[in-house]
Amino acid sequence: MTAAQGFRHGLRTAIVSVFALVLVGTYVSVGALAHDFGFSASWVAAQTVLIWAAPAQVIMITAMGAGASPLEVAIAVGLSAVRLMPMVVALLPILRTPRTRGWQLVITAHFTAASMWIEALRLAPDVPREARIGFANGLGVAFMSVAVASAVGGYFLAFSLPTALVAALLFLTPSSFLIGAIRNSRRMVDWLALAFGLALAPVLALGAVRLDLLWTGLVGGTAAYLVQRLRGGR
């Protein structure tokens, strides 16, 4: 299999993946959210291509819409993207060959988000190594295209979509993450982080705390870590 054949294989795989449906629902809601905060359709499309992570996009839209400073928005979006680094570190060694060039890895790293990472990590080992980067890029291009089209569609659907439906669609991605986190939780610190996060999120949101998603992660994760350390010390 050549790199081009791997790329086409990635495109076909992404289109029939369940994550394509998740992305449609999620990005329809992202587009509607951007509309409600007064951003343009072209802005939300460019944001999807450049940031390419729905949680980071939601942080950016809500923070900018609430009047946060550019520095605050940059820090919040950057911190939310830190979670993608372990994904890239885990995926690239599976894809690269001795002849792989650095710029090829940069492109694949940009395409790495939860949907692409899960599918690439699961399916790439069955693809000939010479075609794996093409396969991963095919996944990324297809998923990103679905996201951009859905975001623009959601932007224009915002005139007719009920607010409750927008919220429900936006909840598809965190719901899939939550189910995966519950399934993969093995230690007490994992369960504590989940419990603290689920308890803090609505409190901070109802209190209109700026960057509430960022503070939920920082406070909840730190509290879980400290409890685990104290328990281990005893």
Lowest-confidence pick of 33-42, 65-74, 202-211: 202-211
Average pLDDT over residues 201-224: 84
Q: In this structure, are 163 and 52 located in the same domain?
A: yes
Average pLDDT over residues 81-108: 88
Give φ, ψ of 119 to 5 degrees.
-70, -40
State how far the Cα of 55 lies from the Cα of 171, in Å rounded to an integer: 11
Q: In this structure, are 46 and 96 located in the same domain?
A: yes
State how far the Cα of 52 lies from the Cα of 171, in Å rounded to an integer: 17
State how far the Cα of 182 lies from the Cα of 197, in Å rounded to an integer: 13
Q: In this structure, are 128 and 43 located in the same domain?
A: yes
Q: In this structure, are 144 and 205 located in the same domain?
A: no
Q: In this structure, are 49 and 92 located in the same domain?
A: yes
**What are the b/e assignments for 78-113, b being 16+ CB within 10 Å?**
ebbbeebeebeeebbeebbeeebeeebbeebbbbbb
Which of the listed residues 168, 202, 220 is the one where a domain comes to its end? Answer: 168
Residue 43, domain extent: 3-168
Which of the listed residues 168, 194, 220 is the one where a domain comes to its end? Answer: 168
Q: Is residue 157 part of a domain?
A: yes
Q: In this structure, are 37 and 125 located in the same domain?
A: yes
State how far the Cα of 35 lies from the Cα of 90, in Å rounded to an integer: 36
Q: In this structure, are 150 and 210 located in the same domain?
A: no
Task: Please report, rounded to a whole number, the percentage of residues in the chain having pLDDT higher than 90.
Answer: 31
Q: Is residue 154 part of a domain?
A: yes
Q: Which residues does 125 contact at the CB level (< 8 Å), separation at least 6? A: 94
Domains held by the chain: number: 2
Q: Is residue 143 part of a domain?
A: yes
Q: Is residue 174 part of a domain?
A: no
Q: In this structure, are 9 and 101 located in the same domain?
A: yes
Q: In this structure, are 151 and 198 located in the same domain?
A: no
Q: Is residue 205 part of a domain?
A: yes
Give φ, ψ of 208 to 5 degrees.
55, 40
Average pLDDT over residues 189-198: 87
Q: In this structure, are 96 and 12 located in the same domain?
A: yes
Checking if the pLDDT of 137 tops 90, the result is yes
Q: Is residue 177 part of a domain?
A: no
Q: In this structure, are 154 and 209 located in the same domain?
A: no
Per the listing, tokens 């940069």 go with: 106
Average pLDDT over residues 123-137: 92
Q: Are 30 and 44 in contact (CB under 8 A)?
A: yes
Q: In this structure, are 9 and 102 located in the same domain?
A: yes
Which of the listed residues 118, 139, 168 is the one where a domain comes to its end? Answer: 168
